[in-house]
Amino acid sequence: MVKYRCTVCNYVYDEEKEEIKFSDLSADWRCPVCNAPKSAFVDLKESESVKSLEKTDSTVSHVMVNQMGQWGIKYVFGIPGTSSLGVTEAIRNQDTIQYFQVRHEQTAAFMASAYGKLTGNVAACLTVAGPGATNLATGLYDAKMDNSPVLALTGQVPRVLIGPGSFQEIDQHSFFEPISVFNKPIMYKEQTTTLVTLAIKHALLKKGVSHLSIPNDVQKQNYASKLIPFTGKVASTSVSPSPHLIKEAAEIINSSHRPVILAGFGAVEQGKKLLKMARKIDSPIVTTFRGKGIVDADEELYVGSHGGIGSTAAAQLVQKSDILIIIGSSYSDMTQIPEKRTIQIDIDPLMLGKSYPVEVSLLGDSSQIIPQLDELLDPQERIEYRGEIRKLKQKWYQQLEMEADSSKKPLRAPYIIKVLNEKIKKDAIITLDVGEHTWWFGRNFHMKSSQKLLMSCSLASMGFGLPAAMAAQITYPEKQVVCITGDGGFSMIMADFLTAVKYDLPVKIFLFNNQQLGMIKQEQLVENYPNYQTELLNCDFAAFAQNCGGTGIKVSQPEQLEESIEKAISTVGPVIVDIDTDPVRFI
């Protein structure tokens, strides 16, 4: 019998106790505590009884790795090295956790961050002391800023050598302190299970990075210990506001004439509930960039994203609204939410009223609050408002269609996005790098609610796309995984295309090759600077893919694009489609 954890509230479904296998539950079954969907659950590797490691060759590393598996960690990404060999050996000697060797530690941290964003579960990244540890920083900052749970494990020099400045010794505790929600060294073997479970617990509950540093001599000490079970050790995070506040919010919405629902990443998986509420009160739905795909782009009431990559329809409707219902948005400056009368729903109390005072703050899970609020809303039929919504959306779609000109040479980004929109599967996982292509994707791509989007949101770090795609493909091997990247971002981590080939991860990489840091070039123009140092000297990325053992496809003419994308999608194994694009943005 297996136990499953809800990644939203930490409720544990125990097959033995419930007497029904989790796989036998209906597809529309919901978490009995927080109402999260069945897809929000991950399996735990808890033993039927609390396991004891009694082997005479058991070490601190064996206990640590088995404790990680006991709490549901499935993957470790990293590079083996001198000061982490004890932990690496312990991973080799068990069959619960898979280890994936990468070519750069930044990739390992990005993969762990992407996995946390995708699943709500914890993955680990493992590296050596000194340079290995410092190379994790960018990926871990991505996790920190996007609230992704990650466990970072670093080796350390033997305890007796800490202090005088030994080979590869740095002050790792101070280095990781600003990145982490939990940051401790394991200095004594008796600390092992306690600190490992506390690290994972902090990562889950505080939604951030936990770091454990393990001196080389401690890793190899003989040690046996009972493992601590997950069940009963982590509190439910299900939160719901007072019925009085929900009633007050409903009364304000009921008295409005031009409500707008603005949904961010905190409303992911709540698309059906949002649509039900929007249809009931005849309200348009707008999303943040990270919230794209909460509802199908083709839904009548969905009008696009708001902000720098947003639609004109979304901007006009938000500006003319008399009440905004904002759900799970971080109020990023890129989203450009104006000061309006607002009902705000968020699980993080620090987000409530973050930028402007709000009429009513509803603290808790959107999965619980949306249905409760919906029950108190009066049905509204706003015929003129619906007509306005429809016309604005049609006008926006006509603009996008006009931009997607297939006759222009070199290929224009809007046309590439249009073809990708038509060819990518409806349940694909899409990962984005950072650059000009990101702007076009956010603006022009029509996402489906069955698709998932991964991106470096708050940190906006180049190099995220490929590691995120590999993590997604490992997690969901049966899914189509597409990485949309640029020549600047991809070349930062391109060595790890070899990792995709090594592990036969069939990621499909569509590379916008404009031989420029295109977004920086545009920013220089906007600020009236001459173009300087944005040109890129590129290799033949398609030939690079072939040299690595993957498939490379070159696209230089518009008439080649559709066939090349179809070929890439149908090809077994990892693929790079190197697409020559216009280095100058146009609208």
pLDDT per position as a tens digit, 551-560: 999 999 999 9
Peptide bond into 410 cis (omega under 30): yes
Residue 11 lies in a domain: yes
**Residues 490 and 544 both lie in one domain:** yes
pLDDT tens string 277-322: 999 999 999 999 999 999 999 999 999 999 988 999 999 999 999 9
Query: Under 8 Å CB-to-CB from 391, ≥6 apart: which residues?
Result: none
Residues 415 and 555 in one domain: yes
Segment 458-481, tens digit of pLDDT? 999 999 999 999 999 999 999 999
The single-letter DSSP state of residue 158 is -
What average pLDDT does the structure give for the chain?
Answer: 94
- Say if residue 165 is in the same domain as residue 151: yes
Residue 586: the pLDDT is 43
Let me know if residue 545 belongs to a domain.
yes
End-of-domain residue from the set 171, 203, 219: 219
d(CA 464, CA 87): 26
Q: Among the listed ranges 59-68, 93-102, 402-411, 576-585, which one has the minimum average pLDDT value?
A: 576-585
CATH code of residue 571: 3.40.50.970
Give the CATH number for residue 385: 3.40.50.1220
Strands 41-44 and 3-6: antiparallel
Query: Tens digits of per-residue pLDDT, 217-252?
Result: 999 999 999 999 999 999 888 888 999 999 999 999
Q: In this structure, are 82 and 29 located in the same domain? A: no
CATH number for 21: 2.20.28.10
**Same structural domain, 261 and 280:** yes
3-class secondary structure, 395: helix
Would you say residue 517 lies in a domain?
A: yes
Q: Rounded to whole angstroms, what are the CA distances from 387 to 297, 300, 314, 321, 384?
A: 18, 11, 15, 15, 5
Domain that holds residue 564: 404-580
Rounded to an integer, the average pLDDT of 108-126 is: 97
C-alpha span between 124 and 263 (Å, rounded): 30
pLDDT at 519: 87
Bridge partners of 454? 431
Domain boundary (392, 415, 437) is at 392
The closest of 567, 441, 432, 583 to 513, measured between CA atoms, is: 583
Tell me: do 96 and 35 sit in the same domain.
no
Question: For residue 585, is it within any domain?
Answer: no
Confidence check: pLDDT of 455 > 90: yes
Please indicate, yes or no, whether residues 432 and 571 belong to a single structural domain of this protein.
Answer: yes
Same domain, 143 and 259: no
The answer on 279 and 154 residing in a single domain is: no
The average pLDDT across 349-358 equals: 93
Kindly state whether residue 586 falls inside one of the protein's structural domains. no
Please name every residue paired with 37 in a beta bridge, in sequence order, or none if there are none. Answer: 30
Examine residue 106 and state whether it is found in any structural domain, yes or no. yes
Residue 49's pLDDT band (boundaries 50, 70, 90)? very low
Residues 35, 59: one domain? no
Could you give the strand order of the β-sheet that contains 180-185, starting from the edge strand earlier in sequence? Answer: 98-101, 75-78, 123-127, 150-156, 209-215, 180-185
pLDDT score at 238: 85
- Region of 150 (left: φ > 0; alpha: ψ -120 to 50; beta: rest) is beta
Share of the chain above pLDDT 90, in %: 86
User: Which pLDDT does position 487 carry in this prediction?
Assistant: 96
Same domain, 258 and 120: no
Does 232 reside within a domain? no
At residue 36, the pLDDT reads 86
564 found inside a domain = yes
CA 461 to chain centre: 13
Residues 172 and 100 in one domain: yes
- Which of 184, 219, 254 corresponds to the end of one domain? 219
For the chain, give the number of residues.
587
The domain tally of the chain equals 4
